[in-house]
Structure 1
């Protein structure tokens, strides 16, 4: 895919596509989650990918499947320089349309697996890379019905991946060493107890790890500080409650672990860009 420029296209109700090639490593500024499905394909280079409470080393030909609402972040790999990757996003309305058109295909079940990263054989890599080239060409040339054709390519990609996974693709294991294994246990604990009062000292005492070791290893493994991770996790759950319940902002703040509704509002706006009430009205 040499000499192919960066492209992006966004049909906000249905799909988005982004392809970039860069000569330097970049970290995603914050870990995040969203209400749409994401497929990440690495063409060249190396990346480390934090997904939920696991870290994966991603190499060329690996494909990453991110479900809705799953916390994730890409992290630059210190042993690599540039990288080349493509992103495919499937919005809620597109999911509903696809499920209506193909009710027995269960295409989005590939995102519900406990596994997130897969190694594609070369012939499968060629198919994915051809899809990228086709979509980029449609984005660049904008021929008649180009958005409709991109929709077809997106659906074809889903069907192809569903078939590949059913044919037993090789899953990429999470990065493991003794320190990271302990960090994974700690992250699982945080995920299950975010609504309670959690402090750095509570974590280090419970898991018999020094503050300095925990702080460094947690940041190295996830790309986040303990406070960043905890706040983003709490705000994620607050967003679900704001959308799906009639609870007051004060009740939601308490349920996700904040003792002060003022502090909750401040953190919420810093992470989302809007106040809780504004978010609920959107």
Structure 2
């Protein structure tokens, strides 16, 4: 069976503080545009501070999540699409050089000018209107709008001297060091006191700055790193679940099962079975 090219767009307004409970990854590309408010956007161990009019390109396979910043009220537009959908708009194969040039491999943050924001928002409104209607040639029109959007993003990016860097205050640099340590030592028995001692700071201060920077508690983040690795082992090896639990730092198979299901919605065996079917 040939899969239908995938495209989705949605606009959401949240009037209360909201943070995603865990980071996640897609098999498709994602465009996030902040219409109003402020957000923290976490991508691959770095935190970006978004303001109104900012656009984030999230490349497929990059782990990401958003968390609260400022008053908590915000409005955003989110687009997900696969390479086949983008390629169809140009009548080329998904792996062609022409298609790849329009689809950046690395995630980045753009801060468009006021004029550029107006142009982008006009395209978003057209996409939203078309997406929620059942007009003739709907998919073709959405593909043409996506092509215009991708070209516009690339033009803005090429005209920008430097992409917007992640947050890099002294506090955040310290948190990035902790994050790197967790990714390197997730398979070990780690405690808050051990981490605080290793980085020569108090456990209370470490907890506070980690939560402020990432939106995670230390325990939540470590569990998330371990589950990410466990998912890879379940997909790529035939190891027993008990072995995977041990190799990812969990103290018991029961604890591993509870955390894995909480973060993925599946038991480890269900996840492995689902992945093999796909």
TM-score by length of 2: 0.85
- Shift of the 68–149 alpha-carbon distance from structure 1 to 2, 3 Å rule, reads same
Equivalent residues in 2 for 1:1-282 (5 A)? 14-78=6-70, 80=71, 82-91=73-82, 94=85, 100=93, 103-105=96-98, 106-107=100-101, 109-112=103-106, 116-168=108-160, 170-282=162-274
- Shift of the 247–109 alpha-carbon distance from structure 1 to 2, 3 Å rule, reads farther
- 1:144 is paired with a residue whose SS is coil
- 2:25 is paired with a residue whose SS is coil
Structure 1 unaligned spans of 5+: 1-10
For 1:19 and 1:142, the matched residues in 2 are separated by 18
Structure 2 unaligned spans of 5+: none
Q: Residues 35 and 92 of structure 1 are in contact (CA less than 8 Å); yes or no, is this contact kept in structure 2?
A: no
- Shift of the 237–81 alpha-carbon distance from structure 1 to 2, 3 Å rule, reads closer
Offset from partner CA, 1:85-104 (integer Å, 9 cap, x none): 11111236547868715711
Per the TM alignment, residue 217 of structure 1 is displaced from its structure 2 partner at its CA by 1.1
For 1:87 and 1:190, the matched residues in 2 are separated by 30
Equivalent residues, number: 269
For 2:221 and 2:102, the matched residues in 1 are separated by 27
Per the TM alignment, residue 155 of structure 1 is displaced from its structure 2 partner at its CA by 3.4
For 1:67 and 1:260, the matched residues in 2 are separated by 34
- 2:160 is paired with a residue whose SS is coil
For 2:239 and 2:172, the matched residues in 1 are separated by 37
Per the TM alignment, residue 21 of structure 1 is displaced from its structure 2 partner at its CA by 2.8
